Chain A
Amino acid sequence: GAVVSQHPSRVICKSGTSVKIECRSLDFQATTMFWYRQFPKQSLMLMATSNEGSKATYEQGVEKDKFLINHASLTLSTLTVTSAHPEDSSFYICSASEASDTQYFGPGTRLTVL
């Protein structure tokens, strides 16, 4: 099956720093990648949709200047949390899709901002 990796799997940082999370599709070309966030005991919430070579589409309430998304190639998308604060602590999960509706999820990145 299709494999999606995320790096790092866990990160702890100080308030005010920026954190970059990578999402890679390992054995297929992902025309679209999605970034989700999950707070404890809540469901996944879509943050943004990213198409290769174009600007990401952000969901309502998600600050695009704070959550920078780059999808420069068909196998890599990055999410940068700029000037992270404790309230940004969450489980960030990416998914990748080829042409169908099937999305393959990465293992997630647990971000803790102190």
Chain B
Amino acid sequence: RKEVEQDPGPFNVPEGATVAFNCTYSNSASQSFFWYRQDCRKEPKLLMSVYSSGNEDGRFTAQLNRASQYISLLIRDSKLSDSATYLCVAPVMDTGRRALTFGSGTRLQVQP
């Protein structure tokens, strides 16, 4: 089983819609997670961190469900500029290492 799994999509939604992505993780010891956004042929950019209490930043809300081992990202009032691939990221759980494990990404296409 992959450490981090995501639905690849694509999710095609109209402007103004609310869309949610889920991501499951395999290591129950993971404490923190991240959502990154990656535009085509660009580097990933940190969107938000996700801790046990969840996180909200404007139209974006991330939540962590430890019992079911998944994290979610909710985008409200979608904009055309939200079109991108959203990467679910967990830290590598090796002692002394602070690398990241990336999910394969969920592609979002917001349409006018």
Interface residues of A (CB under 8 A from B): 32, 34, 36, 42-46, 49, 57, 91, 93, 95, 97, 101-103, 105-108, 110
Asked whether any CB of chain A lies closer than 8 Å to the CB of B69, the reply is: no
Asked whether any CB of chain A lies closer than 8 Å to the CB of B1, the reply is: no
Q: Is the interface of B mostly helix, strand, loop or mixed?
A: loop
By a CB distance below 8 angstroms, the chain A residues around B43 are 93, 105-108
CB distance from A51 to the nearest CB of B (A): 9
Which bracket fits the contact residues of B? 20 to 34
A44 to B45 alpha-carbon distance, docked (Å): 13
- Determine which residue in A34, A49, A97, A103 has the highest number of CB atoms from chain B within 10 A of its CB, and name it: A103
CB distance from B3 to the nearest CB of A (A): 11
- Given contacts A34-B100, A43-B105, A102 and B46 within 8 Å (CB-CB): yes
